[in-house]
Amino acid sequence: MKSKLFLIALLLVASSSFVSAQTSGEYILVNNKQVWVKASGLEHRKFLQPLVILESGTADNLEKFDKVFHQVAEFAPVLSYDRLGLGKSDQADNPITETGRVEELRELLATMHLEPPYIFVGNDLGAVFSRAFALAYPEEVVGLIYLDPVSPSENLESLADQLNEEGKDGDALLLDYKALQSKMLTNASSGQKEEVEFALGMLANEQLTWELDPALQIPLVVMLGRKKDIRTFYNPISSDGKVLNEKLIENRINYFEELTSRQPNSTLLISSNSARYLPLQASTAVSLLVQQVTLADPLRRIWSASRTLDPSDFKRFISDLRTYIPSFLLSERDLNMIGYSLMRSDLYMHALVLFEDNLKNHPNSANAYDSYGDGLFAVGRVQESLEAFQMAVQLGEEENHRDLALFIKNLKRSEEALSN
């Protein structure tokens, strides 16, 4: 019970009750419930451009993500919202569950006509719901960022036992937090209390896990705050409280070091800022992480899109991709390689889309003309392929291209096809 009181206080210290930033937003009616939402860039969102979704922490409203929201809005469409029972949103009718939170968000996104893909940024308990969404709908999520995620190592009874074994009084923390816990619970709303109890229940029942399906090949970034000397809204934490907090941070870092070491495409970052306050104290660092994940592995996205989109939509996707992915991440060589891979998979029209895009962005490239000619020839547009090969030969001769012989061979192939 002592550890439970401590964790309630610790979770509520970070709650949005103490965030003074003012935000603007709007209510969205979802299943007869008003959900408070803040969004930016939705009207300018490109086809299949990732939408960044900010999931606030335990008992928090969307205001804690204000700094991150405004920075992310400079380069990506972004959405933050108050979960039911928190902030300005209506109370939920049902008890909190991971599945319930995921479906509440799905219904909000459907109501707002916000199609995937999504990148989630979850702060402590918000990371739990982000992971749950990715597991439930893996085809819709292209990136995950966890900020100080609640770890199984945060069972405070175990932490107190560890301190007692080290010769320290793990139970002394109760003296500091009893008055604080009482004030926090007095000021907390019923929705905040329910979410804290949900988090406590997951820890007490050992229901918290962070494993992802290995088949979910998406970027995962875990960012942890390691500042050990924290101060509550009311008063400094005593030396006993600091000792327990130090142990909590140490255990969390050890847990996620081990997790990310075996999780594909994962990164662990340790911040000097305070745990649970990263959206406030390290907003620029968090925003840069979002940008990193937004730009991650565009070639994989192109390949995936080629398997699911028809040629017309694929062309639209590639054209829009150019507007938010820097050109140096979409090199002529890489797109050329994907194009030929698509041809080997009999996706000739998709390959032609890439070859045409490459030529548009590299109009003086002999190789781009040659590849475009290959794509045209493969779909039966032989006369056009001949013209492309002629340009490849001309440019290849001017620069003494190493593949000039191949360009000439392809040109002759087109000439022979036309003469038959």
pLDDT surpassing 50 at residue 418: yes
pLDDT digits 0-9 by tens, 181-191: 555 556 788 99
pLDDT digits 0-9 by tens, 239-285: 555 666 777 788 899 999 999 998 889 999 999 988 888 999 999 99
Residue 413 — pLDDT band, cuts 50, 70, 90?
very high
- The Cα 94–Cα 47 span in angstroms is 35
C-alpha dihedral, 96 to 101 to 102 to 108, nearest 10°: 150
Read off the pTM: 0.89
pLDDT surpassing 70 at residue 417: yes
| pLDDT, average across residues 114-128 | 97
pLDDT digits 0-9 by tens, 365-385: 999 999 999 999 999 999 999
Q: Do 93 and 16 form a contact (C-beta atoms < 8 A)?
A: no
Domains of the chain: 2-295 (3.40.50.1820), 298-419 (1.25.40.10)
Residue 24 — pLDDT band, cuts 50, 70, 90?
confident
pLDDT recorded at residue 20: 32
CB neighbour list of residue 317: distance below 8 Å, 6 or more residues apart: 47, 48, 302, 305, 309
pLDDT recorded at residue 101: 98
- The Cα 206–Cα 149 span in angstroms is 15
pLDDT recorded at residue 176: 53
pLDDT surpassing 70 at residue 114: yes
- The Cα 17–Cα 341 span in angstroms is 54
Look at the block and give the residue holding tokens 């080290």.
166
pLDDT digits 0-9 by tens, 335-371: 999 999 999 999 999 999 999 999 999 999 999 999 9
pLDDT surpassing 90 at residue 127: yes
